[in-house]
Amino acid sequence: MKRVILFVATNLAILVLLGIVSSLLQGYLAQEGIEFERMGLLIFAGVFGMGGSFISLAISKWMALRATGAQVIESPSNDAEHWLVETVRQHAQAAGIGMPQVAIFPSDAPNAFATGARRDAALVAVSSGLLQNMNRDEISAVLGHEVSHIANGDMVTLTLIQGVLNTFVLFFSRIIGEFIDRAIFRNENGRGMGYFAATIFAQIVLGALASIVVMWFSRQREFRADAGGARLAGRQGMIDALQRLGGLSDRAQPLPQQMAASGISGGRGMMELFASHPPIDERIRRLQMGEAR
């Protein structure tokens, strides 16, 4: 509940800030003979920026289950499922969160993810490949990592950051479009091609810059979740799990694109700035040196 209140409060604060900025810009642009509908733009940016992220968070569990084909363990049918559920339960109790749903999804690659809008009603899922290729100490560490994501509120925080940046991108890309259309192309008869071309280009550039910020936070949260996994399941277990993941990287089958940042491995970008996960060697080094936070 606290994070939902933070989400709403941040949304309102951003709209107030953009309102002040747009008021200043409107005065400046009016002197140049450029006018734009300030309130309409604010509402548009807020609804589609924050609103879209909030909806994605609200349906994140449903989307994850559909995207991966994961099956929730309603009643354990064998010893492995019973152990899996009980291990998640122990980690959740130690982390001070409600019991998440536990699921298994079909994939030869070892991977796992956690998602959900609330820390007391989340989902932890592991791949069949992870269960087949890792021992129980390593799996326990992976589960501790995912439970730590939930306890840290990473899903809500990442959504909040993404929503704030989406709002800024939508707002400023259209301001740039208006400016270029009127000041450079001297279009006085409504919005011309200059506006649409400049808006699309600005949205691509600003969106790329926003992605750098989001991916930086995503990498930092992986370090924190590694540290959480070490606290819940033992530092050596977490190190062993990461080493095993690194050794099985040739089997990597990435999660669906919309979930790339959610897995315990994968999500590496073509450029380090756009990578959702730090290199596994760096994650191991931080754990060995006690630097992970």
Residue range 186-194: mean pLDDT, rounded: 70
pLDDT of the residue at 260: 58
| Active-site choice (146, 272, 282, 291) | 146
Between 186 and 244, the more confident residue is: 244
Residue range 205-233: mean pLDDT, rounded: 93
Between 290 and 154, the more confident residue is: 154
* pLDDT grade for 176, boundaries at 50, 70 and 90: confident
Query: Which tokens go with 14?
Result: 């951003």
Write the pLDDT tens digit of every residue in 245-265: 887 765 555 566 556 556 666
pLDDT of the residue at 37: 65
227 pLDDT above the threshold of 60: yes
* pLDDT grade for 75, boundaries at 50, 70 and 90: very high
pLDDT of the residue at 293: 47
Share of the chain above pLDDT 90, in %: 44
Residue range 40-69: mean pLDDT, rounded: 83
* pLDDT grade for 292, boundaries at 50, 70 and 90: very low
Dist. CA 215–CA 170, nearest whole Å: 19
pLDDT of the residue at 18: 64
Judged by average pLDDT, the poorest of 132-136, 252-256, 284-288 is 252-256
Between 80 and 4, the more confident residue is: 80
Dist. CA 242–CA 80, nearest whole Å: 21
Q: At CA 96, angle to CA 90 and CA 98, rounded to 5?
A: 75
Write the pLDDT tens digit of every residue in 25-36: 655 555 555 566
138 belongs to the catalytic site:
no
